[in-house]
Structure 1
Amino acid sequence: MSVPQHVLDIMHSPGVYFCGDPDMDAAQLEQMRILHELNASEPGSERRSELMHAFFAEMGEGAYVELPVHANWGCGTHWGAGSYANFNLTLVDDGEIFIGDHTMIGPNVTLVTTGHPVRPDLRERYAQFSEPIRIGYNVWIGANVTVLPGVTIGDNAVIGAGSVVTKDIPANTVAFGTPCRVVREIYDHDREYYWRDRRIPEGI
């Protein structure tokens, strides 16, 4: 990752900022070139691994992202050890995204750190703001979930498919819906059943 520090400082600081800095445009173009090569890379190749480490802010040991992946920057996203994302992940990572160890992300998920002011004249001037997303340890995010700016998802939480997560979700809970709400805590039943009435086989 070779994005200038002052560009990162602009995007990762709280408050409204304006796009159009020439250094920002040049840095993003370079990131898009890396992303293009990454998405075209050969599965299992050493080059693919090199490009993932070059594109993202951090790739923990054993982390893996299925391709294609779409991202505004890449350099705003931190992958924990053993984390995994299925295909068509979209990262609006002008702000930072922190993904915890062993977290699993389903297909077609969108993580959005950035928004725009409602005030029309500010949008005309390309104003935006970015708030970090923090996803904890061993979280499971189902297919087609959207997570919005500033959200924290606690350790071991499960987010049901198709949810729109607008507020923080506590650890050790199952949550789903639009907007996403906590439905229940993870409890003893989940130690015996993996899905509905399907019992987990003994010895695993």
Structure 2
Amino acid sequence: MTEKQKMLAGLIYDANNDPDLIQERLRCKERCYDYNQLRPSEVEQQQQLIRQLFGKTQTHFSLVAPFWCDYGYNIEIGENFYANHNCVILDGAKVTFGDNVFIAPDCGFYTAGHPLDVERRNQGLEYAYPITVGDNVWFGGGVKVMPGVTIGSNSVIAAGSIVTTDIPDNVLAAGVPCRVIRPLTEQDRHRT
């Protein structure tokens, strides 16, 4: 089994010493660099680069530079996806965003994790678990989502949260670690 196959299967793999994975990350970083150098008015070129980079895109999406990811091909975005400045997606595993997902500045989605055992960690070993985000989710500024998390549709993740466990549909969640604060209600439709 190759290191890439291990990575995609959610097994411990050698990310830091495998020449194929190193080369894939380098190619991805080059594309991200190219994307980040485009002028804001060069929307067609931006979308073309993202379509080449990501595993799946829809018709309408926007990512405000700078944007960084590790591989790109493990990222799938739904219709009307929006990510503001400084979005980072470490996509050793699949990262799937539903439709109408809004991401405020300085958010990170990290599928990669490292062993707690210092010897294995110092060997460059890591794992990657998928992140899944439903439809109509809003992430406030500075949110970080950890490996293996699923966030339900129609939920709001408050600014500064660190999401370490699954979040259900239709809730406001906040904190470090992030937890459900309350369900979203009909009254929330009328608040600004």
Structure 2-normalised TM-score?
A: 0.93
Secondary structure of the corresponding residue to residue 58 of structure 1: coil
Question: Are 1:14 and 2:7 an aligned pair?
Answer: no
Of stretches 82-91 and 23-32 in structure 1, the one that deviates more from structure 2 is: 23-32
Counterparts of residues 1-150 of structure 1 (less than 5 Å): 8-19=4-15, 20-45=17-42, 46-150=44-148
- Asked if the contact 2:161–2:178 (Cα under 8 Å) also holds between the matched residues in 1, the reply is yes
Q: How far apart are residue 9 of structure 1 and its match?
A: 3.0
Q: How far apart are residue 70 of structure 1 and its match?
A: 1.7
Q: Classify 1:8/1:79 alpha carbon distance in 2 versus 1 (closer, same or farther; 3 Å).
A: farther
Work out the CA distance in 1 between the residues paired with 2:3 and 2:64.
28
Work out the CA distance in 2 between the residues paired with 1:30 and 1:70.
12
Work out the CA distance in 2 between the residues paired with 1:176 and 1:48.
32
Work out the CA distance in 1 between the residues paired with 2:163 and 2:57.
24
Larger Rg: 1
Q: How far apart are residue 10 of structure 1 and its match?
A: 3.2
Per the alignment, residue 153 of structure 1 pairs with 151
Work out the CA distance in 1 between the residues paired with 2:66 and 2:142.
15
Work out the CA distance in 1 between the residues paired with 2:91 and 2:149.
13
- Asked if the contact 2:83–2:103 (Cα under 8 Å) also holds between the matched residues in 1, the reply is yes
Work out the CA distance in 2 between the residues paired with 1:29 and 1:56.
15
Per the alignment, residue 161 of structure 2 pairs with 163
Work out the CA distance in 1 between the residues paired with 2:165 and 2:120.
25
Give identity over the alignment, percent: 34
Moved over 4 A (4+): none
Q: How far apart are residue 61 of structure 1 and its match?
A: 1.5
Q: Which stretches in structure 2 are left out of the alignment for 5+ residues?
A: none
Of stretches 130-139 and 52-61 in structure 1, the one that deviates more from structure 2 is: 52-61
Q: How far apart are residue 8 of structure 1 and its match?
A: 4.9
Per the alignment, residue 177 of structure 2 pairs with 179
Secondary structure of the corresponding residue to residue 99 of structure 2: coil
Work out the CA distance in 1 between the residues paired with 2:13 and 2:24.
17
Q: Deviations over 1:67-114 (max 9, x none)?
A: 101212222211111111111001111111101100101100011111
Aligned length: 189
Q: Which stretches in structure 1 are left out of the alignment for 5+ residues?
A: 1-5, 195-204
